[in-house]
């Protein structure tokens, strides 16, 4: 006698309650605290991959790859500063604090950037001599926390960046957890060692654009109008924020999209506040154009820039330069498979490791542990960053030449099409093969 087997369905995972979501619920239930992590947004967002360049053919002719020049230089701070910054490549290193990064990592960033004739930026923790010494051009951030802020460093800087917000956490303040508040970091920030530091989200002595204008005036007066003054904003309402930054007297606007990295922020903040860079550039450029300030006030954009195509696309949409954070750390050696076993021991894996706030980075970059930090050779890591910056520049030039441009800044939205309706609407370029730009032209 045979028993008929009743067919059963295979176990089915929920798309809503996926593995990650379930693990987060368990983690939250066990700890009662939100998840804090480093890096940027990890989910799929509309990005530059959804855009394509239209190379030259009969209606436009290309430039010869090796013979015909394609300029890459950019001058930042031409509006008011007596000493604007001249960069050889429009790829800058974004602000990342000493504290979140080791002194060796900061030095490597300076070395790599300087070798390529570009700038690097301090962060929420002040300026270190290593960083000043190894960076030919250093942008000094003025953040709400004002950790380490002082007029001598201000005068030693090549530009000043007033940080209003960051793409990973627009409207949020900095965080540095106790493990990373070493003696040196504590001293630079005037904080007790080992505390979980939360820095303010608003500046202590100004609120709103009218105050900001006066604050910028003060910074100019202190530095005798020499330094370019940047205003950095997290991408949320880029049209209005860019307009207000210009109105407040900025020389340069830095616009950071939601993919932008962070040293330590609540996961919920990283993934749910702010807009993707792709959606933010055109409104910002529009604001500059409406004010007659495009190319007079320079626009630097950041948040998920990975390769020369991203650089070229950002510039084609109207930016003057880009900034990189995460990619620069990866070039130094962050998340490198050579540390696979150690990432596994930390419950992560190479490529996914984002517990940068814990200070246990096997690659020795996002740490203050002297033993781990020693693993990073600043000279070799600086060399890798230099190489990577060279590739970004060469790739962007390759595309620009194919589009017939003798300078990266001659790239324009007309060189681009989009592969999705979303990206066409956000970047305000036609859907490939059509003349349709969703949201433009009356419907």
Q: Which residues bind other proteins (CB under 8 A)?
A: 31-33, 145-146, 149-151, 154, 177-178, 189-192, 195-196, 198, 200, 204-206, 211, 214-215, 217-218, 221-225
Quote the distance between the C-alpha of residue 235 and its chain's center: 11
Task: Look up residue 231 and give its two tokens.
Answer: 């205003």
204 binds, among ligand FMN, other proteins, none (CB under 5 to 8 A by kind): other proteins
Query: What residues pair up with 161 in beta bridges, in sequence order?
Result: 141, 230
Asked if residue 274 lies in contact with residue 235, where contact means CB atoms within 8 angstroms, the answer is yes
131-170 exposure pattern, b = at least 16 Cβ within 10 A, e = fewer? bbebbbbbbbbbbbbbbbeeeebbeebbbbbbbbbbbbbb
Residues in the chain: 443
Closer to ligand FMN by CB, 166 or 243: give it: 166
Closer to other proteins by CB, 151 or 439: give it: 151
Closer to other proteins by CB, 144 or 304: give it: 144
Asked if residue 355 lies in contact with residue 345, where contact means CB atoms within 8 angstroms, the answer is no
Query: Where in 235-297 does DSSP place strands (E)?
Result: 252-256, 265-266
Radius of gyration for the chain, computed over Cα atoms and rounded to the nearest angstrom: 23
Closer to ligand FMN by CB, 70 or 168: give it: 168
Closer to ligand FMN by CB, 40 or 308: give it: 40
Binding mask 98-137 for ligand FMN (x = CB under 6 A): --xx---------------------xx-------------
HSE, side-chain direction, 13 A CA sphere, residue 322: 35
Closer to ligand FMN by CB, 100 or 128: give it: 100
97 touches ligand FMN (CB under 6 A)? yes
Residue identified by tokens 């814990």 is 358
Residue 81 CB partners (closer than 8 Å, separation 6+): 159, 225, 226, 227, 228, 229, 251
Closer to other proteins by CB, 146 or 375: give it: 146
256 binds, among ligand FMN, other proteins, none (CB under 5 to 8 A by kind): ligand FMN
Contacts with ligand FMN in 189-248 (CB under 6 A)?
232
Contacts with ligand FMN in 11-70 (CB under 6 A)?
38, 40
284 touches ligand FMN (CB under 6 A)? no
Q: How far is the CB of 96 from ligand FMN (least distance, A)?
A: 4
Q: Which one of 96, 233, 287, 331 is in contact with ligand FMN (CB under 6 A)?
A: 96
Task: Look up residue 143 and give its two tokens.
Answer: 């953040």
> Measured in Å, how far apart are the chain's first and last C-alpha atoms?
70
Closer to ligand FMN by CB, 70 or 250: give it: 250
Query: Looking at beta carbons, which residue is closest to ligand FMN?
Result: 325
Sheet holding 120-121, edge to edge: 91-93, 321-324, 298-302, 252-256, 229-234, 159-163, 138-142, 120-121
CA distance 244 to 253: 10
Size of the site for ligand FMN (CB under 6 A): 32
Contacts with ligand FMN in 382-441 (CB under 6 A)?
none
CB 317: neighbour CB atoms within 10 A?
27
Q: Which one of 90, 112, 167, 238 is in contact with ligand FMN (CB under 6 A)?
A: 167
Span interacting with ligand FMN, options 5-13, 89-97, 209-217, 337-345, rule CB under 6 A: 89-97
227 binds, among ligand FMN, other proteins, none (CB under 5 to 8 A by kind): none
The residues that touch ligand FMN, with contacts defined as CB under 6 A, are 38, 40, 94-97, 100-101, 123-124, 141, 163, 166-167, 232, 256, 259-263, 302-305, 323-327, 356, 366
């Amino acid at each position: 006698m045979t028993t008929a087997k009743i067919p059963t369905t295979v176990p089915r995972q929920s798309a809503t309650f996926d593995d990650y979501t379930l693990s987060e619920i368990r983690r939250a239930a066990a700890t009662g605290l939100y998840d804090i992590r480093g890096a940027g947004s990890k989910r799929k967002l509309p990005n530059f991959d959804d855009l394509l360049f239209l190379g030259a053919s009969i209606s436009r002719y290309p430039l010869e790859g090796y013979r015909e020049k394609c300029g890459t230089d950019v001058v930042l701070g031409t509006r008011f500063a007596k000493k604007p910054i001249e960069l050889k490549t429009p790829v800058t290193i974004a602000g990342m604090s000493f504290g979140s990064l080791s002194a060796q990592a900061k030095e490597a960033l300076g070395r790599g950037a300087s070798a390529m004739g570009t700038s690097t930026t301090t962060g929420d923790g002040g300026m270190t001599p290593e960083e000043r010494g190894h960076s030919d051009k250093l942008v000094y951030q003025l953040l709400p926390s004002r950790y380490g802020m002082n007029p001598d460093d201000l005068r030693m800087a090549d530009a000043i960046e007033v940080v209003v917000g960051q793409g990973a956490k627009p409207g949020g303040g900095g965080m540095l957890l106790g493990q990373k508040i070493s003696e040196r970091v504590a001293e630079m920030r005037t904080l007790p060692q080992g505390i979980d530091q939360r820095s303010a989200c608003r500046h202590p002595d100004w609120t709103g654009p009218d105050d900001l204008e006066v604050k910028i005036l003060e910074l100019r007066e202190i530095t005798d109008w020499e330094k370019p003054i940047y205003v950095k904003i997290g991408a949320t309402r880029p049209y209005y924020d860019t307009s207000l930054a210009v109105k407040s007297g900025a020389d340069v606007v830095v616009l950071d999209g939601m993919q932008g990295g962070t040293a330590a922020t609540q996961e919920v903040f990283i993934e749910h506040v702010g807009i993707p860079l792709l959606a933010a550039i055109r409104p910002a450029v529009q604001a500059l154009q409406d004010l007659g300030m495009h190319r007079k006030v320079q626009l630097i954009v950041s948040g998920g820039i990975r390769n020369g195509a991203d650089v070229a696309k950002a510039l084609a949409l109207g930016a003057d330069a880009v900034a990189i954070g995460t990619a620069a750390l990866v070039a130094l050696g962050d998340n490198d498979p050579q540390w696979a076993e150690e990432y596994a021991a930390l419950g992560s894996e190479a490529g996914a490791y984002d517990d940068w706030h814990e200070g246990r980075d096997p690659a020795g970059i996002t740490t203050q542990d002297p033993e781990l930090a020693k693993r990073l050779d600043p000279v070799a890591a600086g060399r890798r960053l230099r190489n990577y910056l060279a590739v970004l520049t060469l790739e962007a030039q390759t595309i620009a030449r194919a589009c017939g441009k003798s300078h990266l800044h001659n790239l324009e939205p007309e060189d681009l099409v989009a592969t999705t309706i979303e990206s066409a609407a956000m970047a305000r370029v036609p859907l490939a093969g059509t003349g349709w730009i969703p949201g433009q032209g009356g419907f």
